[in-house]
Amino acid sequence: AQHTRRHHPVQEGEVFNTRYQVLHKLGCGTFATVWLCQDMRKKKQVAVKVLKSREGFAETAQDEVAFLRCVSCMKKKDLAGENIVCLLDDFRMIGENGFHVCLVFEVLGPSIRCLMGNYTAQGLPLPFVKKSLQQVLAGLHFLHKCCRIIHADIKPENILLCGCSKRLQRLLMDTLDCDQGTELRLKAAGGDLGNQLEESDLMSIEVKIADLGSACWTYKPFSKEIQTQPYRALEVLLGLDYGTPADIWSTACLAFEMATGERLFDPQPGKYFSRDDDHVACIIELLGRIPPEIVFSWNKSTKFFSRPGALLRLSRLFPRSLPDILADRHGWTPREAAAFAAFLLPALHYAPERRASAAQSLRHAWIAAP
C-alpha cells in the first residue's frame, strides 16, 4: 500500500501551526520530511519533522511523540540523556493528503552518514569514532535503563552531529548541497571535504541519537519488523523475541562502518536466495556457526536452516575473521585490529542475553582508551 503513504507538499515560506515558518528542507527519511523553520514566537530556528499521512503512520507518530515525551520527562528526573534529540513541541496539520503529525526539535547538524559519505573511504578518525560511540552508547544506556525504550533503528542516518565549529559549518556548507531539497549531498561526487577536515574539527563535535520513529517499549509485546536491514540483529532477522540487545548489535555495525568506511554486513539478494538468506550467511561467515541449540530453539529458523548449522539456500560460505578483514581490507595493524575486534565481538554475541550491554560496552578498554 505504498501509494497510500503521502508526504505533505511543503512550500518554502509556508507557516505551520501559525508559528513555524519554513526556510528549507533539512532531510528526509522513509516516514517523514524534516524542515528548517523559524519559530516566530521564540525567534529561533527549529527542525520540524512532518510525518507522512496514513492511518498506520499516524499511529506510529503518536508513539514517536510518546517516546519523546518519556525521554524529556526522564531527562529532567535523571539529569542524563543529553545524547537524545530534544522534542520542543508537537502539533497536527491537515493537508491535501490528510492528517500529518508534526514534531518540533532543536536544530541539529548533518548525520554521520552525511559526514562519512563525504569523508575518505578509510573511515573517520578513530578518536572521533570512539568519542561519538561513547555518546551513542551513553544515549542508549539512558534509553534502555531509564526510559525502557528500544530505539530499534540505530544507523548512521539517525545519529546527528551537533556543536559543529564555525569552521566545520562553513566547510559543510561549502561542500554539501541541499540537492533538490532531498538530502544533504556533496556538490560534486568525490568532493574533497575529507582532505579539508582536520581532526580538531571532529573532536569538538557532539552527536545525538535522533529518530524514535521505530522505537518500542521494552516491556510491551510487539511483533513488527524493526531496524534497517544491514543493521538488523540476528534475532530480529530470524523473527525471534528481541529487546535492548538489538540496539547493541546495530551499534557494533555502526562502529565498524564509522571506523572503516564500509558496512559490516551488506546483504544482497541473489537469483536463488533472498536478502535475508544472504544476511544470515554473511553473519555466519564473520561470526561462525550459530549453535544448534540457538537455531532450533527459535521457531522461524526453519526458514533459513535445513538442519543444525546448514543454510537452506546457501551452501558455500567463505569464513573470514574480523581481525583479518580489518588487517587485509583496511590496513589495520594486527594490534589495532585485535583491540577493535575485542570491542565488537561481545556486542555481536548471538545470544541476546549474553551480548554486552550499553554500560558494559562503555567500560570496554578499546573505547575508553583515547
Contact status: 29 vs Mg ion (CB under 5 A) = yes
Which residue in 81, 156, 213, 230 binds Mg ion (CB under 5 A)? Answer: 213
Q: What is the DSSP letter of 85?
A: P
Which one of the listed residues 90, 153, 247, 277 is annotated catalytic?
Answer: 153
Contact status: 65 vs ligand ATP (CB under 6 A) = no
Q: Grid coordinates standing for 363?
A: 567500560
Q: What is the DSSP letter of 214?
A: T
Structural contact between residues 26 and 35, judged by C-beta atoms closer than 8 angstroms = yes
Q: Is residue 197 within a helix (H) or strand (E), and if so which, with residue range? A: none
Taking CB under 6 A as the rule, which mask of x and - marks residues 206-245 in contact with ligand ATP? ----xx-x--------------------------------
Q: Grid coordinates standing for 277?
A: 538468506
Angstrom distance (rounded) from CA 351 to CA 293: 10
DSSP 3-state helix, strand, coil percentages of the chain (rounded to 5)?
45, 20, 40
Which residue in 105, 142, 273, 298 binds ligand ATP (CB under 6 A)? Answer: 105
Residue closer to Mg ion, measured from CB, 132 or 158: 158
Instruction: Look at residue 321 and give its three-state secondary structure.
Output: coil
**Contacted entry of ligand ATP, Mg ion, none for residue 32, CB cut-off 5 to 8 Å set by kind:** ligand ATP
Which residue in 107, 126, 186, 294 binds ligand ATP (CB under 6 A)? Answer: 107
Q: Considering CB under 6 A, how many residues would be counted as binding ligand ATP?
A: 22
Stretch that binds Mg ion, among 128-136, 151-159, 263-271, 313-321 (CB under 5 A): 151-159
Angstrom distance (rounded) from CA 353 to CA 357: 9
Instruction: Look at residue 250 and give its three-state secondary structure.
Output: helix
Angle among Cα 143, 322, 228 to the nearest 5 degrees reads 40
Stretch that binds ligand ATP, among 101-109, 129-137, 291-299, 319-327 (CB under 6 A): 101-109
Contact status: 254 vs ligand ATP (CB under 6 A) = no
Which residue in 83, 158, 228, 357 binds Mg ion (CB under 5 A)? Answer: 158
- Which residue in 329, 339, 325, 348 sits closest to 368, CA to CA? 339
CA dihedral 352, 356, 359, 360 (to 10 degrees): 160
Which residue in 111, 132, 175, 357 binds ligand ATP (CB under 6 A)? Answer: 111
Reported as half-sphere exposure (CB side, CA atoms, 13 A), residue 256 has a value of: 26
Instruction: Look at residue 242 and give its three-state secondary structure.
Output: coil
Contact status: 81 vs ligand ATP (CB under 6 A) = no
CB of 23 to Mg ion, least distance (A): 20
For residue 153, indicate whether it is catalytic: yes
Determine the residue with CB nearest Mg ion.
213
Residues 6-35 that bind ligand ATP (CB under 6 A): 26-32, 34
CB of 109 to ligand ATP, least distance (A): 7
Residue closer to Mg ion, measured from CB, 156 or 213: 213
Beta bridge partners of 208: 160
One-letter amino acid of 307:
R
Q: Contact residues for Mg ion (CB under 5 A)?
A: 29, 158, 211, 213
Residues assigned a catalytic role: 153
Q: Contact residues for ligand ATP (CB under 6 A)?
A: 26-32, 34, 47, 49, 85, 105, 107-108, 111, 153, 157-158, 160, 210-211, 213
